[in-house]
């Protein structure tokens, strides 16, 4: 029996596809990924429907939607349920060496043989943060070790550069910015500094006296460009090892990012397009069409594991919620997805329904931004989602709500479980249950430093009550 193909999966945290030159962005942020993707297939309308990180990867790694994984919250309580198998577990059972870099402790990272970490955060005081180079320092030796083994490998790399703090090293810091970030007449950061839950966190990594929101936006783009240059080293290593023809390489993200948009401020909450749209690139010479771009319908995170297994020729014996995208890539019969359910449990608990024309967002409790309980956007006429037309289009709200609720009822019946967006009432980890008012949410939700942000995603984080006390102390 010949050796099965290798899998190299790059999961780039907080990478929104519309800030990649690969997807038509005005700035040349991803030249190396662009060139690499020309040898593979790019999916133009790929979505992460359940944000943020933990549910995004749960879906990606299991081939299930949020009903199938029972995961919707960043701070998911307990482990990933044993009713699902992860891609790492499936491949491990078939003789793969499996290594995870940069995702130790998250429930969605279950099943790898080996876990490696790197410094993927930072602060202004600590200086510029070479996150991608730190990852390469760990990942490239591991890639070489795995390639030398007789067994196939699955290597997952979680890049952190587009995740705040955005601190790309020079010259990327000013690659896309030529202004004066401390101009006293620029007031664009005033509302951001006034937002108490995040203000101290921002001050920990914004330059002192920074006034220009566009400077921070440019740091996000610079971080992507810096990471892209470091990723080129990974591509070169694969080629130098002579394993290019036997390795499936995947590039995607767990969710996108809000910049100075929607009052969500340099984070990844709010069910807007900037947080839901993510890249998906597949490259596997001879197996994945080269130079192809797919824009026929939506593709979703739950499709990734079935697609990978299809390309490897592995039947896992699992009834996935997702499906292989290879028939779509190969121009075969494939019924496109035209609408889908969306959820978020990061700093707010909401769900909704996305169609080609409409986006419905429904809050399940008051949020800390004081946003309306129902939002409706015509994403064709208003692609930036700036005009909430819920009051002007009540019939459309009723129609989309009915479609969403019918879908929820069907999935609850199929899984035998209540929708997780309803059961995760302590999603924020405060131990108080649902917020009763926006004021309560505003006062309760606080992040004070990059270290406390990192702890939100770490298994060895303090228990929720202890963590809350610690963060309150930081705020004083």
> Is the pLDDT assigned to residue 467 strictly greater than 70?
no
pLDDT in tens, 333-344: 899 899 999 999
The listed range with the strongest mean pLDDT (159-168, 424-433, 459-468) is 159-168
**Report for 20-24, 263-267, 442-446: range of highest mean pLDDT:** 20-24
- The rounded distance, in Å, linking the Cα atoms of 408 and 310 is 28
Domain ranges of the chain: 6-329
Query: pLDDT-derived band of residue 466, with 50, 70 and 90 as boundaries?
Result: very low
Question: What's the CA gap between 377 and 384, in Å, rounded?
Answer: 9
- Minimum mean pLDDT range among 10-24, 178-192, 458-472: 458-472
Residue 138: pLDDT over 80 = yes
- 461 or 210: which carries more pLDDT confidence? 210
Q: What is the pTM of this model?
A: 0.92
- Residue pLDDT, tens place only, 373-392: 999 999 999 999 999 999 99
pLDDT band, residue 448 (cuts 50/70/90)? low
Q: How far is CA 164 from CA 121, 173, 216, 433, 452, in A?
A: 8, 14, 10, 28, 12
CATH of domain 6-329: 3.40.720.10
Q: Tens digit of pLDDT for each residue in 168-218?
A: 999 999 999 999 999 999 999 999 999 999 999 999 999 999 999 999 999
What is the spatial distance between Cα 181 and Cα 174, in angstroms, rounded to a whole number?
Answer: 11
Bridge partners (DSSP) of residue 258 are 267
* Reported confidence tier of residue 468, pLDDT bands at 50, 70, 90: very low
- On whether the CB atoms of residues 90 and 154 are closer than 8 A, the answer is no
């Amino acid at each position: 029996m010949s050796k099965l193909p290798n899998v190299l999966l790059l999961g780039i945290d907080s990478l929104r596809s519309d800030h990649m030159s690969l997807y038509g962005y005005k700035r040349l942020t991803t030249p190396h990924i662009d060139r690499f993707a020309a040898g593979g297939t790019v999916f133009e309308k790929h979505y992460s429907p359940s944000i943020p990180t933990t549910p995004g990867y749960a879906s990606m790694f299991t081939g299930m939607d949020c009903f199938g994984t029972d995961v919707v919250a960043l701070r998911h309580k307990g482990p990933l349920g044993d009713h699902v198998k992860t891609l790492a577990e499936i491949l491990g059972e078939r003789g793969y060496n499996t290594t995870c870099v940069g995702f130790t402790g998250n429930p969605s990272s279950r099943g790898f043989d080996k876990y490696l970490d790197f410094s993927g955060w930072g602060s202004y005081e600590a200086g510029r943060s070479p996150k991608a180079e730190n990852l390469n320092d760990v990942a490239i030796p591991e890639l070489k070790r795995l390639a030398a083994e007789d067994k196939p490998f699955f290597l997952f790399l979680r890049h952190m550069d587009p995740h705040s703090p955005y601190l790309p090293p020079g010259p990327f810091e000013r690659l896309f910015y030529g202004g004066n970030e401390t101009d006293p007449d620029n007031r664009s950061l005033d509302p951001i500094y006034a937002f108490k839950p995040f203000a101290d966190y921002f001050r920990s990594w914004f330059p002192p006296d920074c006034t220009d929101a566009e400077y921070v936006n440019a740091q996000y783009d610079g971080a992507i460009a810096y990471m892209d240059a470091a990723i080129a080293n990974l591509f070169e290593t694969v080629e130098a090892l002579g394993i290019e023809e036997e390795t499936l390489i995947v590039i995607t993200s767990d969710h996108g990012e809000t910049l100075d948009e929607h009052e969500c401020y340099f984070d990844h909450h709010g069910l807007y397009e900037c947080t839901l749209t993510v890249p998906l690139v597949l490259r596997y010479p001879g197996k994945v069409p080269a130079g192809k771009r797919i824009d026929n319908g939506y593709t979703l995170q739950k499709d990734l594991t079935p697609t990978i297994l299809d390309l490897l020729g592995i039947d896992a014996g699992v009834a996935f919620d997702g499906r292989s995208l290879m028939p779509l890539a190969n121009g075969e019969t494939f019924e496109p997805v035209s609408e889908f359910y969306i959820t978020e449990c990061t700093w707010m608990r909401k769900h909704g329904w996305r169609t080609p024309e409409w986006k419905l967002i429904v809050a399940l409790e008051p949020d800390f931004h004081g946003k309306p309980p129902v939002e409706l956007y015509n994403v064709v006429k208003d692609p930036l989602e700036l005009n909430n037309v819920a009051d002007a289009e009540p019939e459309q709200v009723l129609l989309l709500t009915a479609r969403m609720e019918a879908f929820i009822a069907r999935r609850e019946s199929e899984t035998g479980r209540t929708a997780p967006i309803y059961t995760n009432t302590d999603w924020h980890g405060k131990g108080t249950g649902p917020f009763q008012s926006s004021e309560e949410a505003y006062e309760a939700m606080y992040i004070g430093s990059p270290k406390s942000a990192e702890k939100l995603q770490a298994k060895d984080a303090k228990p929720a009550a202890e963590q809350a006390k610690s963060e309150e102390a930081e705020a004083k």
